[in-house]
Structure 1
Amino acid sequence: MSKLILFNKPFQVLCQFRAKDGKKTLADHLSIPGVYPAGRLDYDSEGLLILTDDGRLQAQISHPKHKLPKTYQVQVDGDITDDAIERLRQGVILKDGPTLPCRAKRINEPKLWPRNPPIRERAAIPTSWIELEITEGRNRQVRRMTAAVGFPTLRLIRVAIGQWRVDGLAPGEFREESVHLAQPAKTKRNFRSKPHSSRRRPTSTRPKRV
């Protein structure tokens, strides 16, 4: 059985255990030995971070080739338009190339924990919320995507990675689960590893000496 930690990463916490420039890290919230992040979450983003003690599971969750969906709730600057939502769905051009098509929709303001410090609000400019589900893992991808369609990100919360959700966890809280790695299943969304190779050495075709 592999250990899985679902952690609600607070705003302005680094996804590492060693301190850097006086910034807060995972060590300020977790004291579980032998677990490591499966993927990253930006310093100024919040929400679900998965940690595990199993290297194979870590790779299956974080490696882009597995295309594990990641769901974000995003507060953007301005009243986002249907055209901008459609552009996000189709994929936008970033400096490192076009993004893959994704799921995007406008949502009502979700019931979330307050951010500390709160975002800067301007009375004359409204904000709006969207939900994005992407399968890529580029650096600051969601922020760059919303900026590319004219609506910069103000607040970014990751609410789900595959089947795992941040529901029920306050910032800084975590819960532990166990995952059994066995034979790979046929469904795309299973996170089981490939079995170890059992290939034998090829039998020599050279005649034996007598």
Structure 2
Amino acid sequence: MPLILFNKPFNVLCQFTPQEGRESLADYIATPGIYPAGRLDADSEGLMLLTDDGRLQHSIAHPDHKEAKTYLVQVDGDVDAAALARLQAPLDLGDFVTKPCRAVKIAEPEWLWPRKPPIRVRLEKPTSWIAITLQEGKNRQVRRMTAAVGYPTLRLVRSSIGPFSLATHPLMPGESVEVPAGDLKKI
């Protein structure tokens, strides 16, 4: 039962089915019969886990198992303490209220690769980085959260899922590595 860590590049679809003119997981992963345990939007980057074990896939992806996921988020503007406090508390996004999470302002990670294409740069408006750790993961949740507190997301990179991290498993975009499924001891 393979468990594959994959660093999904920007603008790659989180599916194996080809779509005309778009890259998908099939362009990077040749292992037959595996599926992503959770998804990332095409405009998000970073760590994904893939497996051929349906139970394991469900255990990783299902919110009831509360597997922590950390996202590094570059936002438009110099994020302040009030916005961080709002991000950490339950936040009403209209169709659901988020669970409390961890949100801290960080320096741009030194190990982070440049995005291709780069984000837009406006010299008159600064950007800042936030590390957000969630126990849930609804569709476009992080982007919606930062926008709701007045700091739209410019770049979003998932850096860790449970015990796996791009800081400890350094993979460049498009690279993958197989790891023992037993490394998911707490799931």
Specify the TM-score bucket, using the shorter chain as the normaliser.
Answer: over 0.9
Secondary structure, in 3 states, of the residue corresponding to 1:91?
A: coil
Shift of 1:137: 1.5
Deviations along 1:27-71, one digit per CA (max 9) or x if unpaired, are: 111111111100101100000010001111000000011111100
The AA in structure 2 aligned to 1:123 is: L
Matched, 1:178 2:180: yes
Secondary structure, in 3 states, of the residue corresponding to 2:180?
A: strand
Deviations along 1:142-184, one digit per CA (max 9) or x if unpaired, are: 0000000000000000000000112310000011012249xxx
1:97-136, aligned counterparts within 5 Å? 97-111=96-110, 112-136=112-136
Q: Distance in 2 between matches of 1:165 and 1:124?
A: 34
The AA in structure 2 aligned to 1:132 is: I
1:46-65, aligned counterparts within 5 Å? 46-65=45-64
Structure index of larger Rg: 1
Shift of 1:91: 2.1
Q: Distance in 2 between matches of 1:117 and 1:62?
A: 29
Q: Distance in 2 between matches of 1:93 and 1:20?
A: 34
Q: Which has the higher contact order (CA 8 A, sep 6+)?
A: 2
1:14-163, aligned counterparts within 5 Å? 14-111=13-110, 112-163=112-163
Instruction: Give the length in aligned residue pairs.
Output: 184
Q: Distance in 1 between matches of 2:96 and 2:6?
A: 31
Residue identity (%) = 58
- RMSD after superposition: 1.4
Deviations along 1:80-100, one digit per CA (max 9) or x if unpaired, are: 010000001112110212100
Deviates more, 1:12-21 or 1:47-56: 12-21
